[in-house]
Amino acid sequence: MSCEACPVHNTGRPSHLGVDMGNWDYVVALAGNPNTGKSTVFNALTGLKQHTGNWPGKTVTRAEGGFEYGDKRFKLVDLPETYSLLSASLDEEIARDFILFGNPDVTVVVVDATRLERNLNLVLQVLEITGRAVVCLNLVDEARRHHLRVDERRLARDLGVPVVPTSARYRQGLPELLAAINDVAAGKTACKPHRIGGASPEVEQAVSGLARKIEAVFPKLTSARWVALRLLDGDARIAAAVRQGELGELEGASQTAVEGAALAEASA
């Protein structure tokens, strides 16, 4: 029901709120399941007032916006809503490709606090690809209404990345979310992302063995384990990326950003 989801609507619009999109310091990807309030978080962060629908499958294209924090400019890319990154529908592929090949400096995964277990499936898959992630634990107001309490510190410890409780509808927790994004982008937060474990020994052996080989060829790749997982699943897109050296090109931005931040801190 929405014109704002329509590509015709978005083309030719001036960059949102005059943020110069050609000139940003960090790229932030926004991922999440349907109905987690992801679009609301996107609007809240970018200051847009587009209407957000309450139904699955609303975001099928990549929307982009920008915001400033401190003296840094962030470009925010809203990915399609997905439950997983493991299957082959177009929207999942768009999300997966951007996190993997778009090499965002930070990936924010918006999760529904009232449906944490199901939402964590996506978080764990994202964490296999990138450790530079922030979990936005949204809809905590609704969780409270359902008498659910989520221990975000425990969750952050288990996941190994920052977890920020928010209620984007009521603009609660957004300053903290911005700070967490900034800290991960600038390399101030050390992330130790949770890795999927507990698989049978033979799977674990196959994955880690293959991952070692991949790391040997693409030393700067941070998602070797995930690439191994996908190759073992016969993912043609990933196999092609390995063959054509596309993965090797991923060493760039984030590493440079970390080094840059480290340099800046050292000189300060």
Partner 1 sequence: MSASRFDQAAVQDILRSAEALRWELGRDYHDRVVETVYADAAGIADRAVTREGDRPRFDLDATIDRLVTSRVWGLPIMLLLLMLVFWLTITGANLPSNWIASVLIGRIYPALKQGAEAVLIPHWVSGMLIDGMYLSTAWVVSVMLPPMAIFFPLFTLLEDFGYLPRVAFNLDNFFKKAGAHGRQSLTMVMGFGCNAAGVVATRIIDSPRERLIAIITNNFALCNGRWPTQILIAGVFLGTLVSAQLAGLVSAASVVAIALLGVGLTLVASWVLSRTMLKGQPSTFSLELPPYRPPRVFQTLYTSLIDRTIYILWRAIVFAAPAGLVIWLVANVHLGGPSLAEILVNLLDPVGLFIGLNGVILLAYIVAVPANEIVIPTILMLTVLMTGVTGVGQGAGVIFQLDSQQTLQSLLTAGGWSLLTAVNLMLFSLIHNPCSTTIYTIYKETGSVKWTAVATLMPLILGVSVTFVVAQIWHLLAGAI
Q: Which of residues 2-21 bind partner 1 (CB under 8 A)?
A: 2-9
Instruction: Please give the residues from 81 up to 110 whose contact with partner 1 meets the rule CB under 8 A.
Output: 84, 86-91
**Pair 113, 37: CB distance under 8 Å:** no
Q: How far is CA 104 from CA 8, 36, 78, 79, in A?
A: 26, 21, 12, 12
* Contact partners, residue 186, CB within 8 Å, separation at least 6: 72, 257, 261
| CB closer to partner 1, 56 vs 260 | 56
User: Can you say how many angstroms the Cα of residue 60 is from the centroid of all Cα atoms in its chain?
Assistant: 16
- Interacting span for partner 1 (CB under 8 A) from 20-28, 66-74, 178-186, 189-197: 189-197
3 state SS of 53: coil
- Examine residue 248 and tell whether it contacts partner 1 (CB under 8 A): yes
| CB closer to partner 1, 72 vs 246 | 246
For residue 255, give the amino acid letter: Q
What would the x/- binding string for partner 1 be over residues 201 to 230, using CB under 8 A? -xx--x--xx--xx-xxx---------xx-
SS (H, E, C) 2-51: CHHHCHHHHCCCCCHHHCCCCCCCEEEEEEECCCCCHHHHHHHHHCCCCC
Beta bridge partners of 110: 32, 136
**Pair 83, 34: CB distance under 8 Å:** yes
| CB closer to partner 1, 4 vs 97 | 4
- Examine residue 245 and tell whether it contacts partner 1 (CB under 8 A): yes
- Interacting span for partner 1 (CB under 8 A) from 16-24, 181-189, 237-245, 254-262: 237-245
| CB closer to partner 1, 176 vs 248 | 248
- Examine residue 147 and tell whether it contacts partner 1 (CB under 8 A): yes
| CB closer to partner 1, 97 vs 152 | 152
Options 17, 190, 232, 262; binder of partner 1; rule CB under 8 A: 232
- Interacting span for partner 1 (CB under 8 A) from 15-23, 62-70, 155-163, 174-182: 155-163
Taking the complex as a whole, how short is the minimal distance between the CB of residue 161 and partner 1, in angstroms? 12
- Examine residue 148 and tell whether it contacts partner 1 (CB under 8 A): yes
Tell me the Ramachandran region of residue 182: left when phi exceeds 0, alpha when psi lies from -120 to 50, beta otherwise.
alpha
| CB closer to partner 1, 6 vs 190 | 6
Q: Which residues of 233-244 are buried (b: 16+ CB within 10 A; e: fewer)?
A: eebeebeebbee
Instruction: Please give the residues from 105 up to 134 whose contact with partner 1 meets the rule CB under 8 A.
Output: 114, 116-118, 120-121, 123-125
Options 14, 18, 197, 201; binder of partner 1; rule CB under 8 A: 197
